[in-house]
Amino acid sequence: MNSKVNLNSILGLIVVVTIAITGSVLLGNWLHNVEAASLSHAPLAQLPASQYAVLAWNDLGMHCYNRDFKDLAVLPPFNTLWAQVIEIGDPPQVITTGVSVEFLFADNTYSVGKSNFWSYDQQLFGVDLPPNVGLTGVGLSGQMTVTGDHFEAVGIPLTEFSDSAPTTPDPYQLATIIVKQAGSGVELTRATVVAPVSTEMHCDYCHYNFGPGNDDIGTGVVEQNILTLHDEENSDEYPPGHTGMLMNRRPILCAECHSTNALGAPGVAGLPSLSNAMHEQHDGKVPDSLDGCYNCHPGPQTKCLRDVMASSNSKLYCVDCHGTMYQVSKKRNPWLNEPRCDNVACHGSGYAQDQPLYRMSKEHGGVYCEGCHDSTHAIAPSREFNDSIKFSALQGRNGPIDICTICHSSWPLLAGPHNKLYSPPIIYLPILNR
């Protein structure tokens, strides 16, 4: 998709520059730099301005939490950011010492008042959390912690509401990741990355009063309609230790009885996992299509599937990768057993994952797939401008990281990512918008 070699032979009018821009240089700035560099016939492999680069991303392409926790909770606010810091060099090195990494949300500094999660944390999760602190003790800003070869902030209690527009959902919230020199605290580099978050779960499409999901129930509240129906259908099977009508002991955490690996919740043995239960019960009630999945996954407004495979000619949607409602409902180990990029029907062994999950897999130089390609459902280049910001800052345009000198101080002539050879980049004037 990004073969510079082919473009080189097809097009004339070429200016060659190597780009090594790090930090927060945005596109406009970059274009300016390119012009200047091309006029002075910049040499190949200019040394980058900074000696460090940071790749950062949200582990999942979308996190969903409940709009209202008063009656029930499927998922709490819980975003997870990862970052890898690279010391630029020949060869480059992924580092976790000598630097500290912070995260913050410049326009999303508080959650209490944007979500009522903190009014129900004790009843739902058995902990009384300080305001704006999530289930892992992490807040909306702070230090990221070293976990093996990367930095993490796990369980950020982020909402979809910016401070500047606290009632308008914006599912593509922006985090700032700042790398500092340990000790001195001098900033080395930073990145702006999306933390995707949404409450767009449309149970309301069918579970409204006397709606098709509960045609004899009308409590006045969608969530209570669902709980009443669940009691009618299943209360005689509620396991020991979990008896009593759900309606009488709200708020209800579904994971109390149905296991979910999203929360590491074991559930009650013998009951279906939440994923199996939900997809089985709703099989045949929504079409096996993108719009069908958007009934519960965010959603007709959010359109969480924004990656290159959905927007390119291949038009891959949920069912192409995950299968139908029926197939999802029969899956063992939900969340841990997901589609693979290296499936023979997809990209094959040339793009092998070294772990069962894409999000845990690494490739070239120990860099995570998501570091170069971004999260699932947001695989670069994504449709959303916010997703493109970090790629434009590093390499002047959207798309996967393919400029070797973001990490290497000179352009390597040996094979790079996916064991391929790459020529130095060619910049065309006027710049082609790809």
Backbone angles phi, psi at 109, to 5 degrees: -100, -10
Q: What tokens were used for 44?
A: 């190949």
Q: How far is the CB of 416 from ligand HEC (least distance, A)?
A: 2
Q: How far is CA 366 from the centre of its chain?
A: 20
Would you say 40 or 248 has its CB closer to ligand HEC?
Answer: 248
Q: Closer to ligand HEC by CB, 69 or 317: give it.
A: 317
Distance of closest approach, residue 130 Cβ to ligand HEC, in angstroms? 25
Residue 17 CB, nearest approach to ligand HEC (Å):
15
Cα(26)–Cα(5) distance, rounded to whole angstroms? 26
Largest CA distance in the chain: 79
Q: Tokens 């080189």 correspond to what residue?
A: 8
* Interatomic CA distance for residues 44 and 66, integer angstroms: 51
Report how far residue 162's alpha carbon sits from residue 164's, in angstroms, rounded to the nearest whole number.
5
In whole angstroms, the minimum distance from the beta carbon of 360 to ligand HEC comes to 7
- What gap in Å lies between CA 107 and CA 140, rounded to an integer? 11
Q: Which is nearer to ligand HEC, 32 or 285 (CB)?
A: 285
Q: Which residues pair with 187 in a beta bridge?
A: 180
Q: Considering beta carbons, is residue 132 or 304 the nearer one to ligand HEC?
A: 304
CA 187 remoteness from chain centre? 25
Q: How far is the CB of 315 from ligand HEC (least distance, A)?
A: 9
Nearer to ligand HEC, 142 or 339 (CB): 339
Closest CA to 105 of 9, 197, 199: 197
Minimum CB distance to ligand HEC smaller for 35 or for 342: 342
Please give the angle made by the CA atoms of 99, 104 and 105, to the nearest 5 degrees.
Answer: 155
Q: Which is nearer to ligand HEC, 42 or 360 (CB)?
A: 360
Integer Cα distance of 79 and 60 in angstroms = 8
Q: What phi and psi values does residue 366 have, to the nearest 5 degrees? A: 80, 15
User: Closest CB to ligand HEC among 91 and 130?
Assistant: 91
- Output the smallest distance, CB 89 to ligand HEC, in A: 8
Which of 124, 161, 158 has its CA nearest to residue 140? 158
Tell me how far, at minimum, the Cβ of 164 lies from ligand HEC, in Å: 28
Minimum distance from CB of 344 to ligand HEC (Å)? Answer: 13
Which CA distances in Å does 396 have to 300, 333, 371, 400?
A: 31, 40, 16, 11
- Rounded to a whole number of angstroms, the minimum distance from the CB of residue 174 to ligand HEC is 19
> Smaller CB distance to ligand HEC: residue 357 or 431?
357
Please list, in sequence order, all residues whose beta carbon lies within 8 angstroms of the beta carbon of residue 420, skipping any fewer than 6 positions away.
none
CB of 131 to ligand HEC, least distance (A): 25
Q: Which is nearer to ligand HEC, 37 or 403 (CB)?
A: 403
Minimum CB distance to ligand HEC, residue 392 (Å): 15
Between the alpha carbon of residue 162 and those of residues 77, 142, 172, 255, the distances in Å are 14, 18, 10, 29
Provide the phi-psi class of 377: left if phi over 0, else alpha when psi is between -120 and 50, else beta.
Answer: left
What DSSP string describes 55-95?
Answer: EEEESSS-EE--S--SSEES--S-EEEEEEEEE-BSS-EEE
From CA 339, how far away is CA 319, in angstroms rounded?
Answer: 11
Count other Cβ atoms within 10 Å, centred on residue 105.
21
Identity of the residue, 59 or 102, whose beta carbon is nearer to ligand HEC in the bound complex: 59
Sign of the torsion formed by the C-alpha atoms of 385, 386, 389 and 391: negative
